[in-house]
Structure 1
Amino acid sequence: MTTLSRRALNRALLQRQFLLERTDLAALNVIGHLVAMQAQEPNWPYVGLWTRIRHFTHADLTTLLAQGRVVRSGFLRSTMHLAAAEDFRRLRPVLQPVLNRTADGVHFRSNNAGLAPETLVAGGRALLQTGPLPRRDLARHLASLHPGRDSRILAGEIELRTPLIHDPAAASWGGWGTRSSVTVRAAPVDAPDPAALRDLIRRYLAAFGPATVADIQAWCGLTRLNQIISEMGIGLRHYTGPDGQRLFDLPDAPLPHPDTPAPVRLLPAYDNVLLGHADRSRIIADADRKHVTPGQARVLPTVLVDGYVRGTWSFTGGEVRLTPFRPLSATEQQAVDHEINHLLPFLSHR
């Protein structure tokens, strides 16, 4: 088997993520290619699309959300993502075991001891049958149904165990940070389909490969995928990674030359390109990860220089402030400044 260097994996990842060269594809197509975009805070997916798409505007995504063609909900790794509505409908059932596992955790079950999940979910679905509800109203109704329990945690468990999507306003460009008011509604999904899991794996490889089984599992949250990937093996290409690990890929997926130049790119907070592998050394040094994820629930915006994370950035007071991990050369700093100046009008949009 061909052995791929860490730099070869880096360039493959950047190309498949539209980070070597911006694409002219429409926003919906890019979101579909990436499978989903992490969206704990609504503004960041806009930045993620801006850094990947030529001439991307805020309206390109806001319109898709308003039309219901892109939705926001719990998805990969039980975290908030944007996904194309058709993908959500087909793939949410594949990922449901991951969300159920989160809902079975101590945070939820210590509050809900003695309350069967089926009973809780049935009550929540009944409340949502009449139409969308603000989260706070859902929690208020649940408090009357299940007195003595934290109703916000009850509402959170329902949102994990059953497919609910957020109103477009809560997912659209606006103030920075999370939104204080979110309305949720029940969303139809397809019946579980074994073929959908294989499709999920292939689409991951198209956007993040080549990758190990552990990488695929880290990205989606599913476990015990060895058998199904082994069964798919005849239709996949196999490589050896820089540490001897077995990598899988699509047979026709591109592998650019490792010396392909990589432009400076500013990535949003929570971007899946940093979270899509168990071994993230193809894009960030292990020693630098602590600077990007200072807390379990935080993933800071980052800057790529020559394809690797070289620092973090923030947007405060109308300015982009860069925090490099190590000094940049004069040429690198000039390229970073150029990209910042390019992004600044987009960030300042109201």
Structure 2
Amino acid sequence: MLGAVEHLVGLQAQDVKAPYVALWSRVAGFDPYELGRMLESREVVRLPLMRDTVHLVSADDALALRPLVQPPIEAHGRGSLGPPPEVDRAELAALARTAFEEAPRTAGELRALFAERWPGADPERLARGVRADLPLMQLPPRAVWRRPGSVRHGLLERELGRPMRPTTLADMVRRYLGAFGPASVADVQTWSGLTRLAEVADGMDDLVRLRDEDGRELLDLPDAPRPGSDVPAPVRFLAPWDQVLLSHADRSRIISAEQQRVMSVAPNGRMPCAVLVDGRVGGLWRVESGAVVVEGFGPLPDDEVGREAAALEEFLRR
């Protein structure tokens, strides 16, 4: 299971159940309680990474990737929603670091700490600045299968007992291609939130360079599988914010522009969950009163979709 998490370079985890559904759809015999145990033992961790969104990754990847994605995380934390000008960011980070070095903290504890030092300042804006300047991870029991838990944050290096050791940008590109290639430089940048990766890719002589139907250059690993269009793709129920839908600038290979518009107007800011049919988005699924309900964008293979929906219902009841 750890190999699957690392192969995908982590899983989107804003929704606490998303990594579980994502792995269920990909790994035969997936046991959600085993992933929960891995969270508790710190083999996998939850923290903001690519695009400053919460991911579930291996502990090794957390320590290797967090320094590389600092620029987009910092950009979000230093924007108009970050700490106001009258708050010294260095002092804010130092105060928060001292608190986290003593023990993990909840949002309420941080608000009380900030209110004492900067009365009247918006504590959420201060918290954004802290999340941008300090490498924090969410701690279990948050997101452990069938175990409720509020959000507590701790310093990544303190909680894992090891220092961050950043990998190279070239290795990050290779890891991405291993999961999502063939892909363009724009795709890698969309996935990572980083920019100027063309300079990195230009210096990587070990990559295969291909062209798509529109003549755009695609990169891939030399030994990566590239199945033809005649290879069957079974029905799959994707997790909320599934990586396969968010990891490319050009998503037309898997979803139409009209379907993207439908999926972008979800209630409560949540992305609808997609159903893949023959490798493309064919519909949406949701849970109503414990039952998986499917709405197709067109005709669906009812028998195959029904079997997969029943299997997902059984999984979600575990």
Q: Which residue of 2 aligns with 1:78?
A: 52
Once the two structures are superposed, what CA deviation does each residue of 1:292-318 show, in whole Å capped at 9, x if it has no partner?
Answer: 221594322110011100111111211
Find out whether 1:242 has 2:213 as its counterpart. yes
SS at 1:168's partner residue? coil
Q: Which residue of 2 aligns with 1:333?
A: 302
Q: Which residue of 1 aligns with 2:93?
A: 121
Aligned length, in residue pairs: 313
In structure 1, distance between residues paired with 2:128 and 2:150 = 14
Question: Superposition pairs for residues 147-158 of structure 1, below 5 Å?
Answer: 147-158=119-130
- Is 2:292–2:309's contact at 8 Å kept on the other side of the alignment? yes
1:63, distance to aligned residue in structure 2 (A): 0.8
1:81, distance to aligned residue in structure 2 (A): 0.6
What one-letter code is carried by the residue in structure 2 that aligns with 1:82?
L
Question: Superposition pairs for residues 124-139 of structure 1, below 5 Å?
Answer: 124-139=96-111
- Is 2:37–2:144's contact at 8 Å kept on the other side of the alignment? no
What one-letter code is carried by the residue in structure 2 that aligns with 1:335?
E
Question: Superposition pairs for residues 257-276 of structure 1, below 5 Å?
Answer: 257-276=228-247
SS at 2:45's partner residue? strand
1:191, distance to aligned residue in structure 2 (A): 5.4
Question: Superposition pairs for residues 254-333 of structure 1, below 5 Å?
Answer: 254-295=225-266, 297-328=269-300, 332-333=301-302
Find out whether 1:197 has 2:172 as its counterpart. no
TM-score (norm 1): 0.86
Q: Which residue of 2 aligns with 1:185?
A: 154
Q: Which residue of 2 aligns with 1:226?
A: 198
Once the two structures are superposed, what CA deviation does each residue of 1:265-284 show, in whole Å capped at 9, x if it has no partner?
Answer: 00010101000000011111
- Is 2:11–2:243's contact at 8 Å kept on the other side of the alignment? yes
- Is 2:143–2:149's contact at 8 Å kept on the other side of the alignment? no
In structure 1, distance between residues paired with 2:213 and 2:90 = 46
RMSD of Structure 2 on Structure 1 (CA): 1.7
SS at 1:171's partner residue? coil
RCO higher in 1 or 2 (8 Å CA, sep ≥ 6)? 1
Q: Which residue of 2 aligns with 1:211?
A: 183
- Is 1:301–1:314's contact at 8 Å kept on the other side of the alignment? yes
- Is 1:65–1:71's contact at 8 Å kept on the other side of the alignment? yes
1:192, distance to aligned residue in structure 2 (A): 6.2
Once the two structures are superposed, what CA deviation does each residue of 1:153-190 show, in whole Å capped at 9, x if it has no partner?
Answer: 31232123211111111122248xxx782111111174
Question: Where do 5+ consecutive residues of structure 2 fail to align?
Answer: none
In structure 2, distance between residues paired with 1:289 and 1:265 = 18
Question: Where do 5+ consecutive residues of structure 1 fail to align?
Answer: 1-26
SS at 2:95's partner residue? helix
1:136, distance to aligned residue in structure 2 (A): 1.4
Structure 1 residues 154-163 or 223-232, which shifts more? 154-163
Question: Superposition pairs for residues 69-108 of structure 1, below 5 Å?
Answer: 69-108=43-82
- Is 1:135–1:181's contact at 8 Å kept on the other side of the alignment? no
In structure 2, distance between residues paired with 1:51 and 1:95 = 27
Q: Which residue of 2 aligns with 1:22?
A: none
Distance 1:192 1:29, change over 3 A: closer
TM-score (norm 2): 0.94
Distance 1:58 1:271, change over 3 A: same
In structure 1, distance between residues paired with 2:94 and 2:169 = 27
- Is 1:303–1:313's contact at 8 Å kept on the other side of the alignment? yes
Structure 1 residues 92-101 or 115-124, which shifts more? 115-124
Find out whether 1:54 has 2:28 as its counterpart. yes
- Is 1:90–1:190's contact at 8 Å kept on the other side of the alignment? no
Please identify runs of 4+ aligned residues in structure 1 that moved more than 4 A.
189-193
- Is 1:93–1:191's contact at 8 Å kept on the other side of the alignment? yes
Q: Which residue of 1 aligns with 2:2?
A: 28
